[in-house]
Structure 1
Amino acid sequence: MSLQKNLTHAEFDRSGSMAGSVVPTMQGRLWHRFLSPIFSGLHYGHVEFILPSGGKLLFGSGNEKEPIVQVQIHNNRTLWSIVTRGMLGVAESFISAHWSCDNLARLFDLCLRNRATYEKLYSHGKVARWIAHLKHLARANSIKGSRKNISFHYDLGNDFYRLWLDPTMTYSSAYKTEEHEALEQAQLRKLDRVLQLSNARPGDTILEIGCGWGAFAERAATIGCKVEGLTLSTEQLDYSINRAKSKGFDNLARFHLRDYRHETGQYDAIASIEMIEAVGEEHWPVYFKHLHDNLRPGGRAALQAITIDENGFEKYRSGADFIQTFIFPGGMLPTEVHLDDHAKKAGLIPVFRETFTQDYAKTLARWSKAFLAQWPQISKLGYDERFKRMWLFYLAYCEAGFANNTINVGHYCYERPA
């Protein structure tokens, strides 16, 4: 339940609803007319909107113990952006500094906990979503398109990622994250878990599809495995090669600028950590066929994958969200059903599954904190305020998604029959 306020402090009546007075200006009435149908049904938390005129609109559950988020509207064009472009408009107007928030992750968390609110925001901008979807389809992950799409995100510069990732340079969810320990420890735990799940033994050969900056290869080399790492990022390739040379494991790890579809070797095991998200739906069958063909009989592929719930997949695939538009062009999250179905069709046997979704929310919170702390140094690399706001939006958006299990992360293992 909600009432609108132009007072400084929230007041609660005995029924638990927020009490106050309606902002009397034309601007206030216009904003109220738009926001009230969206936020008046909040059953958890509170959101206070501060308008460009200084007037305030306050919506909430009425429970004083629940969190309150403050949204400052700096430009009335925000309203038009949301009406015409929905969630894309929310993102675009934030990136343009037309609005700000004291806690982005909490705002997205409130929207997802109050699912009806999120759905109402999503319902706006159908034409914009359709246009974005067409652009997304044009960024398909063909051999040529994949390299371009990967470069868009991962070739921002090794110095950029080095500033805010943990010392292992691992850009994927940590595993069994503990508040008292450094993120690096949870990332090493994840790498060890993937190694364990792949059944790799000293002397075994491992194909890593999507090798990142070489963290997994380094970890595998410590137990005597031989790794062939594939990437489409020139920045990652250079970093990984130099890493192996400087740390003395270049005799056990080699890295290649190569599409997985061009790999012809056979290996004792395969590791692929958060790479399938960049494959694209139409290429999932090919991806799993290569997992099968690149494994020796009896070998195991260990994947770490971000998935989306089966019930939300059709809506998700019919549009292009903020992540696909601004961060990962050509990307598509599978469901767990897709993973197992495509694996079975390729001749692989699903043998293990575990999810650790809340660890990703914790990982993203750590990244956000590090990104903000390092921003003065990041800005010296030439990145501007729009870039900063886009990344803050991205990290907070994902953190809330994992915190509310809208998206999930897990380990999935598949064996090629002996």
Structure 2
Amino acid sequence: MGNGKSMKVSEMIGTFLEPDAPVRIDAFDGSSFGPSDADLQISITSPKMMYQLVHNPNEIGVARSYILGYFDIKGIDYADPYPQLRQLVALSPYVRKPSPAELARLAAAVLSHGIHKVEVPESEGPSRFERITHGLIPHTEKADSETVSFHYDLSNEFYSRFLGPSMTYTCAVFDTPETSLDVAQQRKLDLVLDKLDLKPGQRLLDIGCGWGSMVIAAARRGIKALGVSLSREQIEYGQEWIRREGLEDLAELRVMDYREVPERDFDGVCSIGMMEHVGAKNYQHYFNEMFKLVKPMGRLLNHQITISHNRPNGRPGTDEFLDRYIFPDGDLASPGFIESRIHDAGFNVVHQENLRQHYALTLHNWNRNLKANWDAEVAEVGFERAKVYGLYLAACALNFELDGIQVHQFLAVKPDREGHPMGDWYPLRPWWKG
């Protein structure tokens, strides 16, 4: 990028960072920014990063540059970049807003080298706009099937290595930070089933059942459990798991949209990590459907990631990196918004709790598992995709710690409008161990 008329990369960086920012950045053109002994050391290895940032001056430009190796951070572990993400967040007080003249000079310096086609990582999916132009309207059955397949049909073997034997891809519940992941995931399954308080012979529907861990846990208690998912790979894995356990008489998994479940009068319905894919604008319809599926005095347990603050109506509650690389059409809402929709469907919400710290611990465990199995994971899905998942898991852990996102469980009861005595409806106080 260097001739006498161009800006040095260090000058470009100085457009966005205060001079005393605690970071050292060494660039491919020989220029540098910041003190040489800074704890955070970044190397910009290619001019392609500048072109990426001009084309995409947002998180996609940064994410692409990281994934494609246009910059690197000293000491980073691609399976768990959490420490470096912490350091980058600490730079936020030193970020400055450039003037229009500074931005114009920077753009002119980059564009003086010509228009360059930017590279797109193989692991990146189409934008939301591109999906819509190809007929994939968010949260229709067709779009949901495509987006679920994009994420969950990646590889059962890949997921099994970082999730562990539980094959449970949702927040675990820890008694202490030292509790093992497997124990904590069983603790979560038990907590959900204890809250639902179903007895042997009663019927449970698990919507978005994943690989079947909740259905199997319920069947082990003698509960007749049906799980539905749009991921064929997940269902095939879970069906084989059920056969190994000898639970075919109690447990069933189907490749099926929740909107097509023909049965009614379930004693309990659970939705664990499913609502993130439904879309906030569809929550009312979703909970209305749940209300139809469960019998009077039956229970609903909804467990989902939430955001800390309300967003304007219709605005997707997810970021572009997650939308392109991890969860297409993912959408989050605040706990108050969700509880209102459950209430308006006709349920009585009887309990709600925030498990935010537990999800951060869960993600740290997944990063550790990814690190322990790194070579096998790279062999399974490729270096680029494995690198994406290391970033995704670590960034989510940090976001939970910073309270950008939370995770809530809502327990609700479908009231019997004929007026049964309260003791026959549900106990007067919580009946499960916290």
TM-score (norm 2): 0.79
State whether residues 302 and 411 of structure 1, in contact with CA within 8 Å, keep that contact through their aligned partners in structure 2. Answer: yes
Which residue in 2 is equivalent to 1:40? 18
User: CA, structure 1 residues 181+299, in 2 after alignment: closer, same or farther (shift >3 Å)?
Assistant: same
State whether residues 317 and 330 of structure 2, in contact with CA within 8 Å, keep that contact through their aligned partners in structure 1. Answer: no
- 282-291 vs 203-212, which moves further: 282-291
State whether residues 106 and 400 of structure 1, in contact with CA within 8 Å, keep that contact through their aligned partners in structure 2. Answer: no
State whether residues 28 and 44 of structure 2, in contact with CA within 8 Å, keep that contact through their aligned partners in structure 1. Answer: yes
State whether residues 207 and 228 of structure 2, in contact with CA within 8 Å, keep that contact through their aligned partners in structure 1. Answer: yes
Select the structure that is richer in helix. Answer: 1
Which residue in 2 is equivalent to 1:18? none
State whether residues 274 and 305 of structure 1, in contact with CA within 8 Å, keep that contact through their aligned partners in structure 2. Answer: yes
- 193-202 vs 226-235, which moves further: 193-202
Which residue in 1 is equivalent to 2:164? 166
Give distance in 1, aligned partners of 2:311 and 2:86: 18
Which residue in 1 is equivalent to 2:114? none
Matches within 5 A, 1:262-273: 262-264=260-262, 265-273=264-272
User: CA, structure 1 residues 249+414, in 2 after alignment: closer, same or farther (shift >3 Å)?
Assistant: same
Which residue in 1 is equivalent to 2:25? 49
Which residue in 1 is equivalent to 2:354? 355
Q: Which amino acid letter does the alignment assign opposite residue 203 of structure 1? A: G
State whether residues 69 and 106 of structure 1, in contact with CA within 8 Å, keep that contact through their aligned partners in structure 2. Answer: no
Compute the displacement of 1:296 (Å).
Answer: 0.8
Secondary structure of the residue aligned to 1:380 is helix
Which residue in 2 is equivalent to 1:140? 138
Residues 267-296 of structure 1: CA distance to partner in whole angstroms, max 9, x if unpaired? 111111110001123322221111111111
Gaps of 5+ in 1: 1-23, 125-130
State whether residues 227 and 254 of structure 1, in contact with CA within 8 Å, keep that contact through their aligned partners in structure 2. Answer: yes
Matches within 5 A, 1:374-413: 374-381=373-380, 383-413=381-411
Q: Which amino acid letter does the alignment assign opposite residue 47 of structure 2? A: N
- 100-109 vs 292-301, which moves further: 100-109
Residues 4-40 of structure 1: CA distance to partner in whole angstroms, max 9, x if unpaired? xxxxxxxxxxxxxxxxxxxx99899643343335443
Compute the displacement of 1:417 (Å).
Answer: 1.2
Secondary structure of the residue aligned to 2:65 is helix
Give distance in 2, aligned partners of 1:407 and 1:415: 26
Compute the displacement of 1:162 (Å).
Answer: 1.5
Secondary structure of the residue aligned to 1:392 is helix
Compute the displacement of 1:197 (Å).
Answer: 1.9
Q: Which amino acid letter does the alignment assign opposite residue 82 of structure 1? A: L
State whether residues 18 and 95 of structure 2, in contact with CA within 8 Å, keep that contact through their aligned partners in structure 1. Answer: no
Compute the displacement of 1:385 (Å).
Answer: 2.1
**Structure 2 residue aligned with 1:82, among 32, 46, 53?**
53
Secondary structure of the residue aligned to 1:49 is strand
Give distance in 1, aligned partners of 2:85 and 2:96: 12
Which residue in 2 is equivalent to 1:368? 367
Secondary structure of the residue aligned to 1:317 is coil
Which residue in 2 is equivalent to 1:228? 226
Of all paired residues, the percent bearing the same amino acid is: 27
Compute the displacement of 1:416 (Å).
Answer: 1.2
Compute the displacement of 1:194 (Å).
Answer: 1.1
Residues 118-155 of structure 1: CA distance to partner in whole angstroms, max 9, x if unpaired? 8979xx9xxxxxx9452365551211111111011101
Compute the displacement of 1:333 (Å).
Answer: 1.0
Secondary structure of the residue aligned to 1:97 is coil
How many residue pairs end up in the alignment? 379
Q: Which amino acid letter does the alignment assign opposite residue 216 of structure 2? A: E
Compute the displacement of 1:389 (Å).
Answer: 1.9
Give distance in 2, aligned partners of 1:281 and 1:118: 32
Give distance in 2, aligned partners of 1:314 and 1:163: 38
Q: Which amino acid letter does the alignment assign opposite residue 407 of structure 1? A: I
State whether residues 40 and 59 of structure 1, in contact with CA within 8 Å, keep that contact through their aligned partners in structure 2. Answer: no
Compute the displacement of 1:311 (Å).
Answer: 4.8
Secondary structure of the residue aligned to 2:41 is strand
Compute the displacement of 1:53 (Å).
Answer: 4.2
Q: Which amino acid letter does the alignment assign opposite residue 46 of structure 2? A: N
Compute the displacement of 1:387 (Å).
Answer: 1.3
Q: Which amino acid letter does the alignment assign opposite residue 398 of structure 2? A: A
Which residue in 1 is equivalent to 2:296? 297
User: CA, structure 1 residues 27+48, in 2 after alignment: closer, same or farther (shift >3 Å)?
Assistant: farther
Give distance in 2, aligned partners of 1:198 and 1:162: 27
Which residue in 2 is equivalent to 1:7? none
Matches within 5 A, 1:18-417: 30-40=8-18, 46-53=22-29, 55-58=31-34, 68-85=39-56, 86-101=58-73, 102-103=75-76, 104-112=81-89, 132-135=127-130, 138-176=136-174, 178-264=176-262, 265-311=264-310, 317=316, 320-381=319-380, 383-417=381-415
User: CA, structure 1 residues 113+208, in 2 after alignment: closer, same or farther (shift >3 Å)?
Assistant: farther
Give distance in 2, aligned partners of 1:302 and 1:283: 18
- 310-319 vs 252-261, which moves further: 310-319
User: CA, structure 1 residues 254+318, in 2 after alignment: closer, same or farther (shift >3 Å)?
Assistant: closer
User: CA, structure 1 residues 177+117, in 2 after alignment: closer, same or farther (shift >3 Å)?
Assistant: farther
Give distance in 1, aligned partners of 2:146 and 2:364: 29
Secondary structure of the residue aligned to 1:304 is strand
- 98-107 vs 157-166, which moves further: 98-107
Give distance in 2, aligned partners of 1:325 and 1:359: 26
Q: Which amino acid letter does the alignment assign opposite residue 39 of structure 2? A: I
